[in-house]
Structure 1
Amino acid sequence: MLSEMLSELMRLQERSKDDKNARARRRIVMGLREVARGIRAHKVKMVVMANNLDEYGAIDSKLQKILDLARVGELPVLFELNKRKLGKALGKSIKVSVVGIQNADGAHEQFKKLKKMVGFP
């Protein structure tokens, strides 16, 4: 369900770039810095982290910072897919470690179900 939602949001985000009439809004942000910035700006509504991040030691402090920001902002955090599958769900050929969902329009049902599964009302 998560990869379905991410691929749909990415498709809609890409479509809004091409369509002159569509309101160009970011639905998804990727990367440690972008997600942290989005959380601080109160734009991110859900954080998705890869579940195989503990293999690398260098990014632990940045990940902890994002987790702390998410806890303070009372945001749901999902540890579901690995880095490769997360990137693939977004239609990217690169590995993605962190994704922030800013706008769930177009995939709102899956968003609500995932929030409920994590334990957020």
Structure 2
Amino acid sequence: MLSKEVDACVTDLLKELVRFQDRMYQKDPVKAKTKRRLVLGLREVLKHLKLRKLKCIIISPNCEKIQSKGGLDDTLHTIIHYACEQNIPFVFALNRKALGRSLNKAVPVSVVGIFSYDGAQDQFHKMVELTMVARQAYKTMLENMQQDLAGGAGPQIPPSPPTQDPSCSSVDDPPASTGKEPHYIEIWRKHLETYSRCALELEESLEASTSQMMNLNL
């Protein structure tokens, strides 16, 4: 199942970045603090996102719902808005406990920001590839649902667990329910087309990097 593959890929990427960060800390603690690979938590991620320091954001889809002003929904809304504005990929993957474990943390983690994925390009590019496939599958599913609601007889896809957009792939995220969705999910849906441009640019960049590596190997 694609969402499980994305979860596994995100886990591998984060574990590798944590390993690099820990190794740097053992060699030079001062330099390690100035050359962090990761940042955790809503406020810290949002702060560095505003400073345009992040290259990717990982969000747990089972964040607790807080609708008060300045609460979780508002903060995630803002994070997703900045990510789309800056064409930064944001991936919904893993539950909060699993996200924390992938970072060697004993506490649940809701959001992770990545400063640099140098040294873990393979994992990052694989994550991008998987999320682009999921994006297209999710887009097709939405089109089919809209056609069904409109009474159309458009192309159907085989029955399977709903696959989310690449920026929101997770095995823990439930299918569309009858209850009202969290506000940040509604915002994410509105940004689906905007984020597609980012995914396309990442795909072109990935193809260029692969071509360059093949030429170097010749």
TM-score, normalisation: structure 2: 0.52
Using the TM superposition, give the Cα deviation of residue 41 of structure 1 relative to its aligned residue in structure 2, in angstroms.
1.5
SS at match of 2:88: coil
Using the TM superposition, give the Cα deviation of residue 90 of structure 1 relative to its aligned residue in structure 2, in angstroms.
0.5
Letter in 2 for 1:8: E
Using the TM superposition, give the Cα deviation of residue 51 of structure 1 relative to its aligned residue in structure 2, in angstroms.
1.3
Using the TM superposition, give the Cα deviation of residue 21 of structure 1 relative to its aligned residue in structure 2, in angstroms.
9.1
Q: Does 1:48 align with 2:58?
A: yes
- The structure having more radius of gyration, on CA atoms, is 2
Structure with higher RCO (Cα < 8 A, 6+ apart): 1
Q: Which residue of 2 aligns with 1:118?
A: 131
Q: How big is the alpha-carbon RMSD for the aligned residues of Structure 1 and Structure 2?
A: 1.7
**Whole-Å separation in 2 of the counterparts to 1:108 and 1:35:** 21
Q: Does 1:85 align with 2:98?
A: yes
2:107 pairs with one of 71, 94, 110: 94
Letter in 2 for 1:37: K
Q: Which has the higher strand share?
A: 1
Using the TM superposition, give the Cα deviation of residue 112 of structure 1 relative to its aligned residue in structure 2, in angstroms.
1.4
Letter in 2 for 1:10: V
Unaligned runs of 5+ in 1: none
Unaligned runs of 5+ in 2: 1-8, 133-198, 203-218
Deviations 1:24-80 (A, max 9, x none): 311111111111112111111111000101x42241111111011111111111111
Q: Does 1:31 align with 2:72?
A: no
Native 8 Å contact 1:16 1:22 kept in 2: no
Deviations 1:69-120 (A, max 9, x none): 1111111111110000000000100000000111001211111121233332
Q: Does 1:6 align with 2:19?
A: no
**Whole-Å separation in 2 of the counterparts to 1:95 and 1:21:** 25
Give the ranges of 4+ consecutive aligned residues of structure 1 lying more than 3 Å apart after TM superposition.
none
TM-score, normalisation: structure 1: 0.90
Letter in 2 for 1:102: F
Q: How many residues align?
A: 120
**Whole-Å separation in 2 of the counterparts to 1:22 and 1:118:** 35
Letter in 2 for 1:86: L
1:104 pairs with one of 113, 117, 122: 117
Using the TM superposition, give the Cα deviation of residue 22 of structure 1 relative to its aligned residue in structure 2, in angstroms.
9.5
Q: Which has the higher helix share?
A: 2
Using the TM superposition, give the Cα deviation of residue 20 of structure 1 relative to its aligned residue in structure 2, in angstroms.
2.5
**Whole-Å separation in 2 of the counterparts to 1:45 and 1:93:** 25
